Structure 1
Amino acid sequence: MEFRLLGTIEARQDGRRVDLGPVRQRSVLAALLADANRMVPVDQLIDRVWAESPPLRARDTLYSYLSRLRGVLAGGGLEIERLGGGYLLRVDPDAVDLHRFRRLVAEAREAGDNEAAAVLFDRARALWRGEALADVGTEWADELRRDLRAEKWAAELDHTDVRLRQGRHAELAAELTAWTREHPLNERLAGQLVLALYRCGRQADALDHYEQLRRRLVRELGTDPSPPLRELHQRVLRGDPDLIAAPAGTPAGADAVPHHFPAAPPSFIGRADELAALTAASRPEADVSRVVQISALAGAGGVGKTWLVLHWAHAHRERFPDGRLFADLHGFSPAGAPLDPSVVVRGFLGALGVAPSRIPPDQDAQVALYRKLVDGKRMLVVLDNAANAGQVVPLLPGSPACTTIVTSRRHLAPLITRYGARHLQLDILSHTEARALLAERLGEPRIAAEPAAAEALISLCGRYPLALAIMSRHAQTRPHIPLAEFAAELRDLGLDALDHEDPTVSLPTVLSWSLRALTGEQRALFALLGIAPGADIGLPAVAALAGSPPRRTAKVLSMLEEASLLTRRAGGRYAMHDLIRDYAAATADRDLPREERESALRRVIDHYTHTAHAADHRVDPHRKVVPLPAPAPGAEPGSPADDSGAMAWFDGEHANLLAAQRTAAALGWHDAVWHLAWGLHTFQNRRGLLHDRLAVWQAALDAAAHLPDPAAGIRAHRLLGDVFLYCRRHDEAVKHLHEAITLAEQHEDATEESLAHHSLSWAWQLRGDDHRALAHASRALELFRVLGQRVWEARELNQVGWFAARTGDFETARGHCTAALALHREHGDSHAEADTLDSLGYIEFHTGHHSSAIRRYRAALALYRDRGNTFQVADTLDRLGEPHAALGHHDDARTVWREALEMYRQQDRAHDAGRVQRQLDALDGDRSPGAVREASGFPSPG
């Protein structure tokens, strides 16, 4: 049975048309045939058939159509198979005119003989019976038609090149003239017409057509003809005899030295390290080693692999006196199926001078002949755009005299492992290279005139070569529009601004070709990674996102990394380039049902939330444990082994936890928003992350309004008040703390009431009212004793002792702090022990016992550093400088104050940083203890 898509949708059996039923049913078949032998997800099928107006029970209707099609097409060499979340149509690709067209065109392009190529192109053209999928009117069909028109047009131009090489310029002149009326700005077509006219003896007409095109390009696009077309014009102008056509039927590659190679890129920027690596990997001396010289160049689509290789090859052509061969293997391209190696081998044999009649029919014999012909020759073989290692291996020369460069979006591990290929990963451009690319395309004056807009374009394009090239084209063809407008358009439209109907210059389309080689599981995880919160992600979180065991998830991640869609960083972190991530997110929106996306996000957010609570408990085991809802199935929370492991986990995941909270807020998952803030509290407090603490607790307070437990609102007010205190926003701090006390009293929550009094004591200290601070601390101590909370009683003993010292009552202060220290050690509360040692250091200093103060401060510092509390480390260093200065240990004082100053600056604590800077200035000027104390703003010792 034959299937036709290049016209109206048809199926034919023994020359007779098969009734395929109504147009929707035919559309279902077309949607599967277009991706023959590849799984198409159900939702994608529905979108292809009905677009934005599916019937109420679209899936049931789809199943009904598929059932009927199975019956109609039974015995026709076609099988429709259900796979996971979609359907796969198994069929011989040659039974479908679309895929047969693509195969014929690919074989024609690689044919080593013009006559054979012309026959193949003619057979491909004959398959078209009008507009493709003429009876389907969906958005998907429109998009496919645009792609196929581009493929057909590209094939027509390639066919024209073949006919010109055959000497058929006379019959082409009229045809090309008509085409130029439809495509007046197509420079390749113009070049073909100029050449045909010249060969027909119409030199004046050829020059006139070039001049018309040049004027039109300047008038409509503000640009000159391309360098190849300008060179052709000059050759016509001087009557170059080499432009006269070769006799019809002359075989391509009849020369002894093949140069089956594309032109060098018209411009090339940077890549010095990569070019040097290619040079180092290719040895011009044939007898240096018996190891085959292979370089495997990998990178994402549109990152510039082909241009890099072509630029290098043309710059080093003298290294390859015996010739150069090039093949585009179509591993990732609009042509669909990758090129069969046998097609490429036949093309190479033709380029090496083998007549078609002498090419062996068997592929193994063809490969053997190819390797025999290149053996011992210093040649370059470039295998571009490989789908996999299996496609490449038959094309390897096997001779150490040859150099082979393979480009692919995959890492081609077998080439590296079995054949010793040198792997070279091509990444995005450096900032300098990205700016140079813009300047080369747009001119330095235009870049210099709008430096901020140019920087915005570089940033928004993420230094991705194809994205920069696309935006440069937009700006180059519209010189009257400011660059700032293009930057704003890219910022607003995202990937849509980088799209185009020509698939080769559309970043979304170029990226889409990478997905064709992925399994359904790999495509699904790629899409989910696009919506995962955070800029990077670790394996446990990815496993939760996928709902799969870590070992299986690691294998899928490895394949995405192999496909250059993902980068693995140190520490087991995975990340995507921003534009690839945007494409992944768009893929998720398009291909994954909303329920599937939200389930994945719920799992990963639950993973983060539960792990954060477990890590928080490791960091502060004495902190109140807040009950959590059970995690979603598959979330698999982690549990750090100890406090240092917990702090390390927080350091690695902090940005992702913030992103997870924002995602939860956007989805209205108020419980997750609040619990993430709770889990982050101790870590952010100890790291001094004031602005982040403020953001998470403001979000938590908003979420608390939607939660049934009043304690959520009370705690949010209290902890938000704490943050405002550290930010020195006293009025807001006191407002929230009093609100916490009011709510706690209403709901008879004495624990929260006492904790709010504890915080209010700090608020009044920062306002300079130590007596009022002492009153709140005393009230908190009283409540904790009534509640029988011994850990907090110990902590509040220290608090009362501290404020007693601040008011000058050092006897009371020492008694309370000494009692607190004993209780902390009894409870194993090392962090609170550090707080109390710091308080005792303050007491010793202010009672004139400076050496004892230094010992206390140093003991506190050791505990703070051990627990990773950089916020308190800064404060204790600040205070440690005081007794050093008082004893005349100016170098020691200077050392600790400089460290405190740097930490304050890192923590955005400008007030404290300014005070320490004044202390350092005083120390370097008037070195008397009184002058330093005056600069510090601390009270004089009693």
Structure 2
Amino acid sequence: MTGGLRIGVLGPLTVSADGQPIVVSAGRLRTTLAVLALSAGRPVPPDQLADAVWGERLPSHPRRALTVYLTRLRKLLGSDAIRTEPWGYVLAITPGDVDALEFTGLLDGAAADADAEQDRLRRALALWRGEPFQDLPSTWQLQVEATRLAERRWTAVERRLGLDLATRPAAELIAELTELTTRHPVREGLWAHLMTALYRSGRQADALAAYQRLYRALADELGVQPGPEVQAVHRRILSGELAPEESVRPAAPTPRQLPAGAGSFTGRADALAQMTDIATDPGPDPIVLAIAGPAGVGKTALALHWAHRAADRFGDGQLYADLRGFDPANPPITPGDVLSGFLSALGVSAARIPADPQAQAALYRSRLAGRRMLVVLDNARDADQVRPLLPGTPGCAVVVTSRNELTGLIAYDGAQLLTLDVLAPDEAYRLLARRLGRARAEAEPEAVTEIIDRCGRLPLALGIVAARAAARPSFPVAALAAELAQSPRRLDALAGGDLVTDLRAVFACSYRTLSSAAARMFRLLGLHPGPDVSIAAAASVAAVTVAQARASLAEVARLHLLTEHTPGRYAFHDLLRAYAMELVEAEAATEREPATRRMFDHYLHSSLTAAYQVNPHRAHPPMMEADVAAGVTPESPGEAALAWLATERQVLKATLTAAVATGLDRHAVLLAWALGGFLPRSGRRGEQAETRLVALRAVERLGDRRELAWAHRGLARAHRELDRLDDAFEHLCQALALFIDLGDRAGEAHTQLSLGQIYEMRGDLEAARAQATRSLPVFREVGDTNGEALALNALGWCQAHLGDPQAGLASCEEALTLQQKTGDRYGESGTWDSLSVIHDLTGDTEQAIDCCRRALALHRESGDRYLEGQALIRLGNDQRTLGEVDGAARSFAEAVLILDDLDRPEADDARRALRDLPSQRAG
């Protein structure tokens, strides 16, 4: 009978199947069904269900009473309507078949889709037939849920009315708003809408009188004054500032991502005027402006200068991305990576950003619909890289810079083309004179003219020469011009010959002024894969002390051959990187090859050290290379290991790729292992899969079957993090077959334990318990105490959730003893977590809190903020159970801060729990 089952709780309880009503008469039976419906398809633990049905008046045998109720419900709804699972009882129904869940789903969808928001709000509000659970026996849990639903209802009502005010004549809404404010005299949002509607209908006096009625009502009932929103509407009515057509959409995130413009920007008046004309020409499509030209011609400077000047035209903000289309050392950024960053800036949490690039692009276009946003896409490689980043509706403008002509973007996407040439002679002179100082330029006009000619009037080249001149104020300008004239070499064209001016002489002129140590540092950093380098890493590459490296880097940065973009970290401009790469390629092999090995060794040993410091008991510690290259000083970040890995993440990924390209497969495998301990903690699940795949390919080339087995296991974990359970299962099976064939009992046991995690995630706890049970004697046989503890913890978890919490406690306590004996603090934290959950299952809340606090202390010690946030939510729930409302509020608030900072969806759980506490305190 469960086909077509639908349940309504937003008013009197209604139950139907295939449109035919079903009578559920008994009060507690109705409550049982309502609570199961609110979890639609998810298990409800027996204790939680009993609390919701009876509250504090539990029968002497609540589980026996529940069994009776469930049997009666199965007779009414069908034998398969309610399943009994290890985690609890499941009503076989979807969220869309329960009006309360359909209501919240529509509200969540409305918040994510501005175009459909008004329609979804109307549909959601139409589901209400009265007060939630109004004919059910009241318990504390139902009261809390009813309060939550009612608050969301009135928030939706106010939002719907605000949208109606923006799209309908205000006079049509006055009657509804008058009725609502009469029924709800202290809901200030309704009064703000009523005042706005009256004012926009030409009834200013009535709007002001409405404010006075609210003022008296709040004073009489609550002893307070109207809040800032209503006061702001009142002030704007008095001043006449409330425009009839004013939109009442809530404020959306307003990103301001534009980098600083060039302080020495000069000229380009015609180009600026043309850009303004294009951007202000109204049309049915978004404005797309493509700025094309050779490298170094000033495309980025022009785009940013104009963007800053035009920012006030785009009140909803500015987005910026360097697409790295012609970076000589790194591949172009994929549109998916850019979209992820843009969506985050537009207020979409990481957990809600789709994995599919097409879905990302669709969500991005939805977020930009109806907004006035400026998007700057710098250094694009081709039209395909840009096209997914274009808005879909008018109101936005996109500025794209590229060495490529982007003919596809012009032909098929309606882009306007602005081809940027070198500076006009007078513009080049003004630029150089401004940087040199007018007096110095006027004193040697011929030399200035020669420099302009030798630099081909390219702004980047002129800027480098000017920086060198400014750093050597005693040098005559003529000496700089002579050096440019005498240089026999030129920088080859990049990216298919789109450079029209040779920059090698310009770079060489600055380079030759460096001290020998700084010049050597500049050359050797051409070996570095980027995107930036720390002082410590540069010291190892050059085989010098950190103090010497710091001095050399500072000297190079003063001449703008490197940029210190954050304290202690340096990055190349792409053309300067190309020049450094050319120089180091010409270096003798006796200098270049050891420096290359030092670079790889620095990152290998530093990252392995950091990985060990994060978790010294992690399975399968790799064998480090016996010797570290002479001159390398690996970093040992200690307590800051997690922070170090986070800072170096992009560099380590680039180094991993470079190691594979260089044929250093052993380095690649070990680097991937080091990253594998960090990336899951930081929530970078996609990158974890990427690095593990690289490791798998590298180890296949090595021909090491044992490492191949571990590589399959590592890739399985990455797939598990992405919820690709079938892929994870397949790789674990391959790993298990290899371990068995090799006779590697420890590897076999770890893989069995990992298979148990897959079974658990699939909901098959019996199979998960079997895997833990199977691995346990193997760990004992090979003397792997840490593995034995992990197996015991997994076994205890399964036992407890399969209905034997006492056995689960015994297994986890045995695991804890072993971990404390070996000093495995990270493993211990996980076991304390398990013990906390199991004590909750047994109803021993005080013991659960104690275990949770122990886990929390260890999470903080290890720096694992995600697990810290999870533990805080559990602690808050237990504190709330014991009535420690203030303590629960502190725990939830701290969890919100941590999980928001990590952009984890669990922050919403903590936020809801925190929001519900006041109503519980009042109760």
Q: TM-score range by the shorter chain?
A: 0.3 to 0.5
**Whose Rg is larger?**
1
So what's the TM-score if we normalise by structure 2? 0.47
